[in-house]
Amino acid sequence: MKSITAYKQLNLTHLQTALPQLLETARREQWTYETMVERALGAELDGREQKATARRLKAARIPSKKTVEGFDFSFQPSLSERRIRELADLSFVRTCTNVIFLGPPGTGKTHLSLALANRALAEGHSVLFTTLAELAQSLESASHPGLMRQRLRRYIAPSLLIIDEVGYTRLTAEQAHHFFELVAAAMSTAHYPDVQYSFTAGSVTDTELYWRGL
């Protein structure tokens, strides 16, 4: 019982689960003390990383598992495979660079956006996937300034924010204003130069927008 309490106090819950098997293997293979400590710490760290990855995946709200490797570039010969693979190194996330995918329906914009999102998650970045309609409704329904600030922070806090279905959504004047507030907040947080934007009611453009919030 003392050991169980110690595990909890030291927050070594993953080691508690792995230790019986580690001890059995250590006895069988006659590990040194150094090896045993190394494997024990590794088990705890691996468990924490798996838990953190699961938490990031749940928060990202990604609807499906897509990869760059699973994209059929022969289906879109005009698309530069080299450029997409360059994006997959995620340097645009680290440098706060916006990425815009343009194209009519069915050209693979959502697939590629989800592929980049999954790559970012795998590398430990926080991600949020949303549609413009959902985002606009969320901001529009904020009933007071404090709630609006809270929701803006929710969208700009992730390392990678992906907004889908921008070209298919018509915004009211109020929704367009809230969208401007979000872009301005993201740019300010990411320390971009001062930029002026003008949004009007209606469809923003046939694009999907990506930017790094922090």
- In the chain, the number of structural domains is 2
pLDDT tens by residue, 127-147: 999 999 999 999 999 989 899
Q: In terms of pLDDT, which residue wins out, 12 or 101? A: 101
Q: Point out the domain boundary residue: 12, 39, 60.
A: 60
The band of 52, judged by pLDDT with boundaries at 50, 70 and 90, is confident
The pTM for the full model equals 0.68
Give the pairing of strands 127-131 and 160-164: parallel
**Mean pLDDT, all residues of the chain:** 82
Compute the average pLDDT of residues 152-176: 89
Alpha helices in 67-127 (DSSP H): 81-87, 91-94, 109-122
CA atoms of 124 and 90, how far apart (whole Å): 11
pLDDT tens by residue, 86-132: 999 999 998 888 898 888 888 899 999 999 999 999 898 999 999 99
**Would you state the pLDDT for residue 207?**
39
Do 108 and 198 fall into the same domain?
A: yes
* Domain around 28: 2-60
Residue 65 lies in a domain: no
